[in-house]
Amino acid sequence: MCEIDKYILNYKLIQSFNSDILIKNLIIPIYKDDLFTFCFSVLQEKEISQLLNTPVKTLDHDLIEEDFLFYLNEIEVKEKLYSLSISSLFEEHKSINNFIYSLLTYANNSSVSDIHFDVNEQFFYIRFRIDGRLKHYFNFDKKLFLIVSSVLKLYCKEDITQLRKPLNGRFTKSINNKEVDFRFSSMPTIFGESLVLRILNKANISKNLKELGFSNHSHNLIKKSLTLSSGIILVTGPTGSGKTTSLYAMLNILKSLNKKIITIEDPVEYRLDYIQQVEINEKINLTYHEILKNILRQDPDIILIGEIRDEEALNIAMQASLTGHLVLATLHTNSTCDTINRLKDLNAPSYLLANTLKTIVSQRLVLKKCEVCLGKGCASCNYTKYKNREVISETLYINEEIADFLLNNKDSSFIKKYLHSKGFVFMEEDANNKIRNNKTTWEEVNNVLNQEL
């Protein structure tokens, strides 16, 4: 079988045919020689030749209907990028900047979180991560990669000749009359470099807890926690579960000129008004521990710790909360009850846990059914049937009874049994509610909840 990612799609050729005919009949022209137009299609050659009014040869493929529709979607934008990729090889300065700007605009308009630029033995290929899923979009001439790499490094004021060491940087572009920040990373590989651009969409950090998908129950418990003047609020889950976004939503509730808020982040991705953000820098020994040891001298009211990684960080967080500070932090655990086990693994004394731990929010992100097609697949969702993500969660507010359990060192299975008896809303139930409300699917929930940390 021939796969579509083994070709550079000639969108100038594709656009030369009637797009309605291509879409209706699932035909993708791939390339042309002096005699034939070679195509991927589900139809027979004779039928395609009649439809396109040209001699046709079909290529074996393993594409399904959604694949055809995806690659035939937004042909005009893709043709522009294809044409600019060709001209960039000959008219580097003007065309390459237009190519990159058009690509960044297309990605930003498509709600892309990360753009991946990679090379193999044949091509320079580009993939987009949308709603947590990485998808192949383009193949280009391999010679274009080095030009793109150099320009992106220039944007970041990095050394364009450095190909053997990882580089990190950031730059800002005006897109659709709005300033958009991009975080750049390069990594040497056996074929050259691998480049990733993270699109830092500020719209994500302006969302409130309800917009993120928290249920009324979780929303109310979190807001209740945020009225406390001291204690620890933990947001837990695996990498990519939206923990940082949830913390930012909490900071939007808390931030005020009357409060000193300090964050420790690795790295600082979004710059927040009225909040003092500190970025980890291992090169100068500006580590989590170094910052945490000195942070209380800054007289903060609220401290956000990007991640509690070890016993020392947890101990400082607990001491800070005991001395009248509200501490927000993340932890990599699967559930609220697993979090209690993890804190004990980090040697948290039971009396300190009972006195400092106030709330545990455990969460995941699930894909939402596309609201345009209601999960059938359309141009709006790139024929994936899903568009955007929202939180499924469970929120444990530490009341006097649970604090007493922690003080008396009750294990998590005992606490879980207690929570069941009290009608606690576990994550699975929150997910089932979203399925019943037609916001997501059982397949998606099952996929997300079965992922390991």
> What digits encode the pLDDT tens for the residues 44-80?
999 999 999 999 999 999 999 999 999 999 999 999 9
In a shared domain, residues 121 and 251: no
Number of domains in the chain: 3
pLDDT for position 123: 94
In a shared domain, residues 181 and 273: no
Q: Are the beta carbons of 162 and 149 closer than 8 angstroms?
A: no
pLDDT for position 269: 84
| CATH number of the structural domain spanning residue 152 | 3.30.450.90
User: Does residue 113 register a pLDDT over 60?
Assistant: yes
Q: Which of 142, 170, 200 is the last residue of a domain?
A: 200
User: Does residue 341 register a pLDDT over 90?
Assistant: yes
In a shared domain, residues 59 and 208: no
In a shared domain, residues 413 and 316: yes
In a shared domain, residues 413 and 301: yes
Residue 84: other Cβ atoms inside 10 A: 22
pLDDT band at 1 (very low <50, low <70, confident <90, very high): very low
User: Does residue 219 register a pLDDT over 60?
Assistant: yes
CA–CA distance, 179 with 67 (Å, rounded to integer): 33
Once rounded to an integer, what is the mean pLDDT over residues 428-453?
91
pLDDT band at 92 (very low <50, low <70, confident <90, very high): low
pLDDT for position 268: 87
User: Does residue 378 register a pLDDT over 90?
Assistant: yes
Residues 64, 45, 13, 75, Cα dihedral to 10°:
-30
User: Does residue 245 register a pLDDT over 80?
Assistant: yes
3 state SS of 306:
coil
Lowest mean pLDDT among 91-95, 259-263, 318-322: 91-95
User: Does residue 204 register a pLDDT over 90?
Assistant: no
pLDDT for position 453: 46
User: Does residue 352 register a pLDDT over 70?
Assistant: yes
In a shared domain, residues 281 and 374: yes
pLDDT for position 354: 96
Supply φ then ψ for residue 129, to 5 degrees. -100, 120
- pTM score over 0.85: yes
pLDDT for position 273: 87
In a shared domain, residues 295 and 276: yes
In a shared domain, residues 13 and 35: yes
Q: How many percent of the chain have pLDDT more than 70?
A: 99
In a shared domain, residues 148 and 283: no
Q: Which of 46, 65, 84 is the last residue of a domain?
A: 65
Query: Residue 135 pairs with which residues in a beta bridge?
Result: 128
CA–CA distance, 190 with 119 (Å, rounded to integer): 10
In a shared domain, residues 268 and 393: yes
pLDDT for position 213: 96
Handedness of CA 374, 377, 378, 383 (dihedral sign): positive
pLDDT band at 221 (very low <50, low <70, confident <90, very high): very high
Question: What are the E-state strand segments in 91-132?
Answer: 112-119, 123-130
In a shared domain, residues 274 and 303: yes
Q: Which of 133, 165, 200 is the last residue of a domain?
A: 200
pLDDT for position 287: 86
In a shared domain, residues 105 and 171: yes
Amino acid at 159: D
CA–CA distance, 42 with 361 (Å, rounded to integer): 49
Q: Please compute, for residue 83, the number of CA atoms within 13 A of its CA located in the half-sphere on the CB side.
A: 12
| CATH number of the structural domain spanning residue 361 | 3.40.50.300
pLDDT for position 2: 59
- Domain extent at residue 141: 74-200
Category of 23 on φ-ψ map: left (φ > 0), alpha (ψ -120 to 50) or beta: alpha
pLDDT for position 81: 97
> What digits encode the pLDDT tens for the residues 119-134?
999 999 999 999 999 9
